[in-house]
Amino acid sequence: MKFETISIFGLGYIGLPTAAAFAGRKTKVIGVDVSQQVVDTINRGEIHIVEPELDLLVNAAVTQGFLRATRDAEPADAFLIAVPTPFTDGNRPDLSYVEAASRAIAPVLKKGDLVVLESTSPVGATEKVAQWLAEDRPDLSFPQQVGESSDIRVAHCPERVLPGKVVHELVQNDRVIGGLTRRCAEVARDLYQTFVQGECILTDARTAEMCKLTENSFRDVNIAFANELSMIAEKLDINVWDLIRLANRHPRVSILQPGPGVGGHCIAVDPWFIVDSAPEEARLIRTARVVNDDKPRYVVGRIQRVASRFKEPVIACLGLAFKADIDDLRESPAIEIVEELASQSLGHILVVEPNIGELPQSLAQHVELCDTADALNRADIVALLVDHREFRSIDLRKLHEKAVVDTRGAFHAAR
């Protein structure tokens, strides 16, 4: 099937790289976002996020006329929904952004169009998209109504990329594509094969939804083991980094590295979607979430104990992003740690985050943003929360007279 125009709703960390990938194959792409600032930035050929290589791709796509951004839905042959799917109080999935995008798409749909939900979602969300579309367009038929002969095809194709390597992995990674019917999945496969060099594997929508949740829950459970191990090791006066290094020499053991918690829009969120769908059965997944959600408070306790040695300590917190070498602050345990430290008035708090230009609103009035050299010069306590490349290259002699809380093991590895 030929797709002359593709519309992508949500121009964030997934939507914008996906738009650039399609545009790079000389396909007309209309990007839709609720933020006028995002729309204006992209239409200048610039980007509003930090992702290697993406700036060059977007600039080329806009300059050559294959990508433009707008706030309003326009007709297209395929529509991709890549909007946030956070959770509400009580860790319940929030599909309001997905519903808003679906209802914005509905008025411009025409017979033969494809709608793909890319947003990571709880099981059954793709069916809800089809339901919302059908409610707003009773003149068209949908898969849940007539099966394979529907006017509109609906599918789910979750992203599975690593921040910092999105441009490469969008093209190279396999994609799991779940359709509400087999034909829906096949048409969606035709779309993604425009740029995907990995294998496009077909299944049903519910399995595709659960597959993405399963992938991230697997990671979360294994990180929880490492984080719990780090707390046990400290209590028993054992260096956890040496412990893991030695244990991993076993041919069938591969323990991950502990950290200050788990962040980001996927691993810190998606397991809760499974727990919400099957609360009685998802016992291990729930426990892993609790362990990882509690780790920031454990780190705050460590810093508190160190700070008690000083009368008015200056505490340098290195990193705010949820992982190394990106600017993504979503669900970041580092932010949670810094917010808690600030609320306790333990001392003067310096924050170093080389990938942002200003502090998030929750911290702006309470801490000082500075560069690495200034922070190391002034600090009594250095807390490494994110192992950005700038921090991995710190001369350890500059830490000699500092109290150090290394939640990532980067300084230990350097030694």
- Residues involved in catalysis: 212, 266
Please report which helix (H) or strand (E) contains residue 161, including its range: none
Token couple for 235:
């209590």
Q: In whole angstroms, how far apart are CA 173 and each of 193, 196, 210, 364?
A: 12, 8, 18, 38
Side by side, which strands form the sheet with 200-204? 67-70, 28-32, 5-9, 78-81, 114-117, 153-156, 175-179, 200-204
- Rounded CA-CA distance 392/390 in Å is 6
The DSSP call for residue 25 is T
Question: Which segments of 47-199 are extended strands (E)?
Answer: 67-70, 78-81, 114-117, 153-156, 175-179
Q: In whole angstroms, how far apart are CA 73 and each of 21, 133, 317, 383?
A: 20, 14, 42, 46
Q: Is 318 helix (H, G, I), strand (E, B) or coil?
A: strand
- Ranges of H-type helices in 147-204: 166-172, 182-192
Maximum alpha-carbon separation in the chain = 74
Token couple for 137:
């367009």
Question: Which segments of 64-174 are extended strands (E)?
Answer: 67-70, 78-81, 114-117, 153-156
Sign of CA dihedral 268, 271, 277, 281: negative
